Amino acid sequence: MCGIWALFGSDECLSMQCLSAMKIAHRGPDAFRFENVNGFTNCCFGFHRLAVVDQLYGMQPIRVKKFPYLWLCYNGEIYNFKQLQKQFGFDFQTLVDGEVILHLYNRGGIEQTASMLDGVFAFILLDTANRKVFLARDTYGVRPLFKVLTDDGFLGVCSEAKGLINLKHSTSLCSKVEPFLPGHYEVLDLKPSGKVASVELVKFHSCKDEPLHVACDTVEALPSGFDLETVKSNIRILFENAVRKRLMAHRRIGCLLSGGLDSSLVAAVLLKLMKEININYPLQTFAIGMENSPDLLAARKVAAHIGSEHHEVILNTEEGIQAIEEVIFSLETYDITTIRASIGMYLVSKYIRKKTDSVVIFSGEGSDELTQGYIYFHKAPSPEEAAEESERLLKELYLFDVLRADRTTAAHGLELRVPFLDHRFTSYYLSLPAELRIPKNGIEKYLLRLSFEDSNLLPKEILWRPKEAFSDGIASVKKSWFSILQDYIDQQVDDLLLEKAVEKYPFNPPKTKESYYYRQIFEKHYSGRSSWLPHYWMPRWVKATDPSARTLKHYKSATQE
């Protein structure tokens, strides 16, 4: 996990512009480099490093003797770099996984490069010999990327939008900062002036398609067919493989553990594999919640079952409320459910950074979208519509849960790993018949739970624990976290302000005081950027006015049964 930043064709003094690069310093606390491009005095790269792989030669932009005309700045991990090196006979100069991007590009161009990378990534690749700039981002946007491109060809690229919004160009601020779309690459021509012109934006991978890099995966062809035992076995094999490949790190590995199915499965498989490869330190797991909250109690059970070194962070209401503004600044969104869920994740990440030496943090993001884990999936009109909704949620992850998971951990210099969003695992799961993937017997994620039922990885009551939103599970059963927030905010926003919300904020107007409060803070830091959020996250097929699962009729806490 790092912070990348680059400018092409800047009319302003670069030493002033580079102050913007410092806005993402939290993403790489170990080192910083600012480098001009030879022959292009108005082009430069900025890089903040979190050293996870090859601590000696991992600084960026990466340049190797074999390709002196290539410059690479990337944020991510390429899990199959050794397999690609072996398959194509690449001669590496460093131990950095990202070096494989240079070799792939030299061998087969940008299309093959982006398609063959098994991992999470956002990168800027400059080819001065052919005067091209390439941008690319992984399928689900696990690693963030933003860009601004003006009409006269000034390009700014950064891991977070906050590193671009104050750039100066022709005496004005750059207005159109936007997220770079996941699963895409862009080709731009580099002119002698350092300015660029976009040539094409190409979608190189869709979540349903089996990725090209399967050809050099460590797990070979799986049994075909949709009989239940084959499917369950394939799910276990691919999920375990997804966790195994993410063990690539020279820094200590930890795991977030809410006690829900997803994080518990990740933690259990992770610990099992760490033992198998003789990692000689205990796995640290981390839970956050108020005293005796459902998440804390469930996480305690899981940690005892798997034998992790468990840490509990007790959340008090005042601390959570005080964190709201810095959380919104980190997130760059005003989405209601994203902010609610981010407060706990932000504070547990803060604890990990201050109190432990774990840096590479595993988490369960992506499972709810992939395996139909949200409560409202019980109301889907048909298996086919549920499958379509699952795909829609996966495509929008970069706006919601993946955004939350990246920003809350990156704010504290941690690197996130999300095995549920492994390309091969997700494409296999989405290839299964729609009927197999829907909730059954009143239980969401039925197929995933069933696949691990006989594994003894988790206690039965955890394996079959009902869905609990992270923002609710950290609070007591008597009072949800969202209602605690609403009670506080009710005193902060006047009724008259809410009545005039549509006039003040015509795009995505706030409909509640809570929503208005978040929007005010967002506009304070990112005025006029409301289009970064196309729409609020809300459940479908139900008459919901609030995104919390606890407001839905289906929801029933285990302690209320």
- Residue 212 scores a pLDDT above 60: yes
Among 6-10, 45-49, 266-270, 305-309, the least confident range? 45-49
Let me know whether 197 and 224 are in one domain. no
Domain assignment present for 210: no
Let me know whether 308 and 423 are in one domain. yes
Find the distance separating the first CA and the last CA of the chain, reported in whole Å: 42
Let me know whether 74 and 126 are in one domain. yes
Let me know whether 263 and 187 are in one domain. no
Per the model's pLDDT, the better-predicted residue between 547 and 238 turns out to be 238
Domain assignment present for 209: no
Residue positions in the annotated binding site for ATP? Answer: 256, 288, 363-364
Q: Percentage of the chain surpassing pLDDT 70?
A: 93
- Among the options 2, 43, 158, 174, which is catalytic? 2
What pLDDT was estimated at residue 557? 44
The residue-averaged pLDDT of 420-435 equals 98
The residue-averaged pLDDT of 362-388 equals 97
Domain assignment present for 212: no
Let me know whether 426 and 546 are in one domain. yes
The residue-averaged pLDDT of 226-252 equals 96
What pLDDT was estimated at residue 560? 41
- Give me the CATH number covering residue 302: 3.40.50.620
Let me know whether 277 and 171 are in one domain. no
What pLDDT was estimated at residue 5? 92
What pLDDT was estimated at residue 561? 35
Per the model's pLDDT, the better-predicted residue between 253 and 94 turns out to be 253
436: part of which helix (H) or strand (E)?
helix 434-437
- Give me the CATH number covering residue 167: 3.60.20.10
Domain assignment present for 509: yes
The residue-averaged pLDDT of 235-244 equals 98
Among 37-51, 185-199, 322-336, 388-402, the least confident range? 37-51
DSSP state of 467: P
- Residue 83 scores a pLDDT above 90: yes
Q: Which of 302-330 are b and which e, b meaning 16 or more Cβ less than 10 Å from the residue's Cβ?
A: bbebbebebbbbebeeeebeebbeebbbb
What pLDDT was estimated at residue 216? 84
What pLDDT was estimated at residue 238? 97
Q: What residue numbers bound the domain in which 142 lies?
A: 3-203
Which residue among 203, 238, 262 closes a domain? 203
What pLDDT was estimated at residue 547? 76
What pLDDT was estimated at residue 474? 65
What pLDDT was estimated at residue 221? 85
Let me know whether 254 and 169 are in one domain. no
In the predicted model, what is the mean pLDDT of the chain? 92
47: part of which helix (H) or strand (E)?
strand 40-49
Let me know whether 306 and 169 are in one domain. no
Q: How many domains does the chain have?
A: 2
Contact 6, 14 (CB under 8 A): no
Among 26-35, 117-126, 342-351, 543-552, the least confident range? 543-552
- Residue 472 scores a pLDDT above 80: no
What pLDDT was estimated at residue 50? 74
- Residue 304 scores a pLDDT above 90: yes
Domain assignment present for 556: no
What pLDDT was estimated at residue 250? 87
Alpha carbon distance 238, 370 (integer Å): 14
The residue-averaged pLDDT of 328-342 equals 97
The residue-averaged pLDDT of 435-462 equals 96
Let me know whether 366 and 500 are in one domain. yes
- Residue 418 scores a pLDDT above 60: yes
DSSP string, 325-355: HHHHHHHT---HHHHHHHHHHHHHHHHHHHH
The residue-averaged pLDDT of 286-293 equals 90
Domain assignment present for 213: no
Q: How confident is the model at residue 548 (pLDDT cuts 50, 70, 90)?
A: low
What pLDDT was estimated at residue 168? 86
Let me know whether 237 and 198 are in one domain. no
* C-alpha triplet 321, 503, 161: angle, nearest 5°: 55
Which residue among 170, 203, 236 closes a domain? 203
Alpha-carbon distances of 475 from 221, 258, 471, rounded to whole Å: 44, 12, 8
What pLDDT was estimated at residue 558? 40
Which residue among 148, 172, 203 closes a domain? 203
The residue-averaged pLDDT of 339-367 equals 97
* C-alpha triplet 475, 558, 377: angle, nearest 5°: 90
Active site residue 2: yes
Domain assignment present for 474: yes
Let me know whether 226 and 183 are in one domain. no
Q: How confident is the model at residue 545 (pLDDT cuts 50, 70, 90)?
A: confident
What pLDDT was estimated at residue 483? 83
Domain assignment present for 119: yes
Contact 310, 285 (CB under 8 A): yes
Let me know whether 199 and 247 are in one domain. no
Alpha-carbon distances of 363 from 178, 388, 548, rounded to whole Å: 27, 25, 21
Residue 223: CB partners within 8 Å, gap ≥ 6?
Answer: 230, 233, 234
Alpha carbon distance 540, 555 (integer Å): 15
